[in-house]
């Protein structure tokens, strides 16, 4: 197999959660460009419909699936549909997550309910997505969990968010050993600050603004060093494509930081 072929996803079927916008959308489109058929999952039907249409325009098959990932049946039902309609499951990207209200939640001031909510939003469904995908994959599958650079850095107000993501890193390492005999690799990607609609909206909340202007984005420049810019969704998509491809078949149990070197 030549180098170019090692990055091909031809004949593969992928699922990307949180695939309607931002990083998830970029991953879904990158996989389709590399030859995969891609099912896109998110909460908003217009978002997944739009991404599925972009994938179809590339000549690939796609499914637009909506649902609440915190509900037990959402992921199993979606994966069964993917297998029935697209013919298999080879790549699972658990990308959805974040901080729903965008506010800082210092650990010493946080309620137990908020702690549980943030853990569920960032850990529970990624575990369930990984577990359910593994049950449906054959030999040589790929599971990719998108976490955050917060797993290795202290960010005030983000303790529960960081804990949930760090738990997924630990789970990923264990699953990599458990699934290794089936040649299923399990890895994490930990993005740094990436310019997305999510970042703009939630940063605006923290700054007390109705929207985050280009000037407001300058507040994130300290996060850009040493490369000199904050991230773009395509930066994360490139890493996901690598981990999903045959080129990365000997990489498992790892957490790759994609953060501009910060």
Catalytic annotation, residues: 161
- What region does 148 belong to: left with phi over 0, alpha with psi -120 to 50, or beta? beta
Burial of 107-123, coded b for 16+ CB within 10 Å and e otherwise, reads: eeebeeeebebbbebbb
> Are the CB atoms for 191 and 23 separated by under 8 Å?
yes
126 to each of 188, 210, 219, how far by Cα in Å? 11, 31, 31
Q: Using a CB cutoff of 8 Å and minimum separation of 24, what contacts does 67-76 make?
A: 67/41, 67/43, 68/43, 69/17, 69/41, 69/96, 69/125, 69/128, 69/129, 70/120, 70/121, 70/124, 70/125, 72/128, 75/125, 75/128, 75/129, 75/132, 76/132
Nearest to 66 by CA among 99, 26, 19: 19
């Amino acid at each position: 197999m030549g180098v170019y072929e090692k990055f091909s996803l031809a004949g593969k079927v992928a699922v990307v959660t949180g695939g309607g916008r931002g990083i998830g959308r970029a991953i879904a489109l990158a996989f389709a460009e590399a030859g995969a058929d891609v099912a896109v999952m998110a909460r908003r039907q217009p978002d997944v419909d739009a991404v599925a249409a972009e994938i179809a325009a590339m000549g690939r098959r796609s499914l637009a699936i909506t649902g609440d990932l915190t509900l037990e049946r959402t992921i199993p039902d979606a994966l069964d549909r993917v297998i029935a309609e697209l013919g298999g499951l080879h790549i699972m990207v658990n990308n959805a997550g974040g901080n729903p209200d965008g506010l800082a939640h210092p650990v010493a001031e946080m309620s137990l309910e908020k702690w549980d909510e943030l853990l569920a939003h960032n850990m529970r469904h990624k575990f369930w997505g990984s577990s359910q995908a593994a049950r449906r994959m054959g030999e040589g599958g790929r599971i990719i969990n998108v976490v955050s650079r917060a797993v290795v850095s202290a960010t005030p107000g983000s303790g529960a968010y960081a804990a949930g993501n760090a738990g997924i890193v630990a789970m990923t390492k264990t699953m990599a050993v458990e699934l290794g005999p089936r040649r299923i690799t399990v890895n994490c990607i930990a993005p740094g600050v990436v310019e997305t609609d999510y970042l703009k909206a939630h940063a605006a909340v923290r700054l007390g603004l109705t929207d985050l202007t280009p000037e407001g984005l300058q507040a994130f420049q300290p996060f850009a060093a040493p490369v000199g810019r904050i991230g773009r969704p395509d930066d994360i998509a490139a890493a996901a494509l690598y981990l999903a491809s045959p080129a990365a078949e000997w990489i498992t149990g790892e957490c790759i930081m994609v953060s501009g070197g910060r």
